[in-house]
Structure 1
Amino acid sequence: MDDRKTLVLTGASRGIGHATVKRFSEAGWRIITCSRHPFSDKCPWPAGEEDHIQLDLADPDGLGTAIADIRARLAANGGRLHALVNNAAISPKGEGGTRLNSIETPMHLWRAVFQVNFFAPIMLGRGLVKELKAARGSVVNVSSIAGGRVHPFAGTAYATSKAALAALTREMAADFGPLGIRVNAIAPGEIDTAILSPGTEALIDDIPLRRLGSPKEVAEAIFFLCSDASSYVNGAEIHVNGGQHV
């Protein structure tokens, strides 16, 4: 039996997800990644390709199949899951990369955004609850600073889905806690990734630390919430934004 701790993470192919997998891999964890992109040889973690599931979280039926696949893979690990990190998210833009507001966002985009950003995390949590309980594991939902304030670049559907995810984190913490499963969230601010919107640098003046955050800094917060160091932290949302929310 594989006695390593195991992480399931969505949205592993870039940015925060990529940095998170690297952090857990360095600590000796087994990583099962879920992404709509195929595995890339640029992902430098052991057994990466064999533990990668190509999955479009916008497809509820495909997600159900993937959950069954994950559970089968965890059976070789004694049916235990130590951490679930719901990181994948989509944020559609308008023509020329413009922000989609509540008046202009088509309803089909609202539904797609909420399926990926909100429904997929609870579907995964419910689907893997037995394995999380067996390991007394942790769930980390990646919300956003946009979930608590109107953001100049994040669209309305994205922002409201992240606000809903923060509320879901509290509900899950209350419901999963008695099973020995801790559920928390992190809310990143302006993080220096390849998908930064043009003009993000102008927001630095609003950040007390006067710089963008790095994916590695967010990954460290996620790792903390999945470690014994946070064993009495449940239902929290940690702001990783240099003080931008103050």
Structure 2
Amino acid sequence: MLIDSHCHLDRLKLDQYDGDLDRAVQAARDAGVERMLCIGIDLDNADAVVDIASRYEDVFASVGVHPLEKDKPEPSLEKLIQLASHKRVVAIGETGLDYYYSSDNIPTQQQRFITHLEAAKQCSLPVIIHTRDAREDTLALIDEHADKERAGVLHCFTESWDMAKAAMDMNFYISISGIVTFRNADALRDVVRKMPLDHLLLETDAPYLAPVPHRGKSNEPKYLPDVVKCVASLKGVSQETLAQQTADNFFKLFPLAS
């Protein structure tokens, strides 16, 4: 079973499907993708991702505000809990810290991240974390505020093995995107080789980061098999074994999506 653990179906470019999301979802199914998690990035698109998840039995949603979202109302703990009460919502996020693109609002990012971690704890939901160039602070806030039992995932991971191991030691999963197929991703491939299969998830992050051989195109969940092929080769396992293990991991982390 192939599962796209992180995609943005509300942002897909649908020109080739004449604007019809149904056809894009069916294209993913035809490629063997049997579950998709549609990710919220701000309060404005929360209704959209929940609506999409409500339309398709094999799509679920998360709700949250991305660390790079600016100049919009901050999500309150109460608002996140309210949004998470919908039956198709299986996680809080994506949230986290990004000092690569934005280091001028670090206190705001940190407080927003804490609010999401507390909401996830109160809702007994896993949290989906975006982190870039913020290793120490991300791990420290997880350690202090996260529910280690429900835990969560560091999505689209591009950081070090030491960070991955520290997160896994706190019961978090690591999700690998199409970046692993990029020519300049040797360091990430080394991390993947070291990772235990039982803490690994796969994703497209569509419509971003299309894997080789689709670089330059808008990404879609139907390209997930190219990520599977690369990761399976790095791990020295069959694509079928990798698909089944990462599906098992997904349902363990997101039981409401089963």
TM-score, reference length from structure 2: 0.38
